[in-house]
Amino acid sequence: MPAGHLHNDGIYAVMDQTIWRPAPGSVRSLNLFARVMGAPGDRNLVSFAFNGGLVLTAPLPGRDSDSAGIDVGVGKVGSGAAAYDRALGLATGTAYPVRGVETLIEITYQFQLAPWWLIQPDVQYVVNPGGGVPDPADPTRRLRNELVIGVRTAVTF
């Protein structure tokens, strides 16, 4: 039976800072960003998360509205979810994996194809997906690391 909690809080901070520009007023720039979040682990699936990276605006000549980025992120599974995994393993007598930490590495590029159309290919490598969720094909093992490739597009009317 899940425990009831009267309160749930969390805190986060975001930082985004230009760290390089070749000349004053130049469109080209390099920004450093970081985000950090914390919440009570006994009532949240994720109790801590951090990600940070770099974004280069106007990375190629003549592509002033494009940007390229790299990101590294870490998410820690809350203590309540990890305790559930341990209890399930004990109750079933199986080697059920206990979730812990997920790590992500991401590379992306935003192409501004027209003033109203953006397309963004993205490649991510996820280490320990879901903090080590069980593989549905074999619940005694964790899912393997994953390569994720995607494309996002935005059309503005």
Among 73-77, 90-94, 103-107, 149-153, where is mean pLDDT lowest? 90-94
Closest to 104 (Cα-Cα) out of 76, 122, 124: 124
Average pLDDT on 120-132 reads 97
Average pLDDT on 111-135 reads 96
Query: Does residue 5 surpass a pLDDT of 80?
Result: no
Task: Give the mean pLDDT of the chain.
Answer: 94
Q: Are strands 117-127 and 101-114 parallel, antiparallel or unpaired?
A: antiparallel
pLDDT digits (tens, 9 = 90+) for 80-101: 999 999 999 999 988 889 999 9
Backbone phi and psi for residue 94, each to the nearest 5 degrees, phi listed first: -115, 165
pLDDT digits (tens, 9 = 90+) for 25-62: 999 999 999 999 999 999 999 999 999 999 999 999 99
| Cβ atoms within 10 Å of 78's Cβ, excluding its own | 20
Q: Who's near 20: CB < 8 A, 6+ residues apart?
A: 29, 30
For residue 36, which amino acid is it?
A: V
Query: Does residue 2 surpass a pLDDT of 80?
Result: no
Average pLDDT on 15-33 reads 96
Query: Does residue 4 surpass a pLDDT of 80?
Result: no
| Cβ atoms within 10 Å of 47's Cβ, excluding its own | 21
CATH class for the region spanning 11-155: mainly beta
The pLDDT assigned to 139 comes to 84
Domain ranges of the chain: 11-155
Phi-psi region of 31 (alpha: psi -120 to 50; beta: other; left: phi over 0): beta
Query: Does residue 1 surpass a pLDDT of 70?
Result: no
The pLDDT assigned to 3 comes to 66
